[in-house]
Amino acid sequence: MSPSEREARLLEIGQGLVRTSAADETEVLLGDGRAFLTRFSRNRIHQNVGTEEAWAVVRVTAQKRVGVATASSLAPRDLAGALESALAIARVTEPVEDWPGLPGPHPVRAADAYDEATAADPPDARADRVAALVAEAAARRGEAAGALETDDRTMAVVNSRGVAVAASRTRATLHTVVTCEDGSGYAEACAGSVGDLDAARVGRVAARRAAASRKPQPLPPGRYDVVLEPAAAAEWVQFLSYMAFSGKLYDEGQSPLCGKLGARVTGEAITLWDDACNKRGLPEPFDFEGMPARRTVLVDRGIAKAVATNTYRARRLGKRRSTGHALPASTSYECIPMHLFMRGGRESRRSLLAGLGRGLLVTRFHYTNILDPMKTVLTGMTRDGTFLVEDGRVVGPVRNLRYTENVLEALGRADGLSRERVLVRGPCVVPAMRVRGVQFTGTTEF
């Protein structure tokens, strides 16, 4: 079935369910997708699987009482059961006195987000890509582990106020950790089209980092200037989206941006925005309420500008309409920016390193956790390629370190961003960055 046929089918199912609903308002979110995964370890493929899934989220209101139920298939009986359950939940739920109603329809731009070759990518083609990656690892006497995944999804949103939108998209992601003796290196790639993945390059970058990471030396805790590769920079930016840019948390007084919109919250070098329609990312033309995705500037040269909202939070915050960042009604997060971009700078990776007298080059972070969301304090470990830099040159690998850092404050100490920006899984498009005085609080034996 073609993407357009799948979209038409989901719209027909959703509109049929809305017509049968006895609720005051009804919203139906429908999804239909396939995912194919090839996992490898020790330079060999050990798993090759595919899954197909369909799902639905039904939201209804009855006298301002809201009920939500889900189904894990699109069978008429299951959808009818979800609608009945949502109504039953609504009838015993406390009313939402300031409920603004479901949103009405708005024009949605088409997004060029579907690639036929990715949707049809066969197992032997994925195996060939893994083989190209593994060959690069083996050339340096390394062992590669990781995964290559392709998926395609069609989503539709229909509600009783006239919203009826559907779209399809594809994605491909590849990531690996290569080990060379006691050294390890990480690399990844993601794209809307599997043909845009350069598996050999991913393997080559990871293998080089692994070979260079052998025999790491201990380094004491303390404050170090760092250059964060894009995977590490993206980790901080993505955690910020959960801590700082949720309209729900802002409305409830639990965001570090509360009372600070229009004020400086970080360094002038930092500009962040969300843009789900940008082809540079992984575009999706509308959110889970069917509202059009809108480019939303979150931080402009260090000044907090906005938070992401769905329809309910937008009205509570005095806005006429949503920013287009609703999550499924079945989730508690409600609204979060999920297609993040950071403005780049004017420097090359070499010049970022040249600006370090003595510091660290960090490939990525691992096991990051939130310690204090109101202060944006995170803790985590460096992993798979951490190097000492002296006089602007990488002089050798060091053992991994634990960091504990207020991210907004740390970004306020960023004084260099690379021209090149990279799409990192998330999705998130970010540069490499140089940050002064990052606090490392612990050491490891590896």
Mean pLDDT of 438-446: 95
6 residue type, one letter: R
Please provide residue 119's backbone torsions phi and psi, each rounded to the nearest 5 degrees.
-65, -30
Mean pLDDT of 186-213: 98
Identify the bridge partners of residue 68 per DSSP, sorted by sequence position: 59
Residues 6+ apart with CB under 8 A from 439: 222, 223, 403, 404, 405
Q: How far is it, in rounded angstroms, from Cα 432 to Cα 306?
A: 24
**Among 3.60.15.10, 3.30.2290.10, 3.40.50.300, 3.30.420.40, what is the CATH number of 3-205?**
3.30.2290.10
Q: What is the pTM of this model?
A: 0.95
Q: How far is it, in rounded angstroms, from Cα 115 to Cα 256?
A: 39
Q: What is the mean pLDDT of the chain?
A: 97
State percent of the chain over pLDDT 90: 99
Please provide residue 382's backbone torsions phi and psi, each rounded to the nearest 5 degrees.
-75, 160
Residue 165 tokens, joined: 């939108």
3-state helix, strand, coil in the chain (%, to 5): 25, 40, 35
CB 7 within 8 A of CB 156: yes
Instruction: State residue 1's pLDDT score.
Output: 85
Question: CB-hemisphere CA count at 13 Å for 216?
Answer: 30
Mean pLDDT of 40-68: 97
Q: For the segment 30-52, what is each residue's pLDDT rounded down to a tens digit?
A: 999 999 999 999 999 999 999 99
Q: For the segment 380-421, what is each residue's pLDDT rounded down to a tens digit?
A: 999 999 999 999 999 999 999 999 999 999 999 999 999 999
Instruction: State residue 106's pLDDT score.
Output: 96
Mean pLDDT of 164-182: 98
The position carrying tokens 């951490």 is 386
Mean pLDDT of 70-83: 98
Q: How many CB atoms lie within 10 A of CB 255?
A: 23
CA torsion sign for 133, 136, 139, 143 is negative
Mean pLDDT of 201-215: 98
Q: How far is it, in rounded angstroms, from Cα 30 to Cα 54?
A: 8
Rg for the chain, CA atoms, rounded:
23
Residues of CATH 3.30.2290.10 domain(s) within the chain?
A: 3-205
CB 86 within 8 A of CB 66: no
Q: How far is it, in rounded angstroms, from Cα 320 to Cα 441?
A: 45
Q: For the segment 267-286, what is each residue's pLDDT rounded down to a tens digit?
A: 999 999 999 999 999 999 99
Stronger pLDDT, 1 or 376, i.e. the higher one: 376
Residue (of 141, 188, 208, 178) closest to 40 by Cα position? 178
Q: How many CB atoms lie within 10 A of CB 257?
A: 24
Instruction: State residue 404's pLDDT score.
Output: 98
Question: In a 3-state reduction of DSSP, which class is residue 297?
Answer: strand
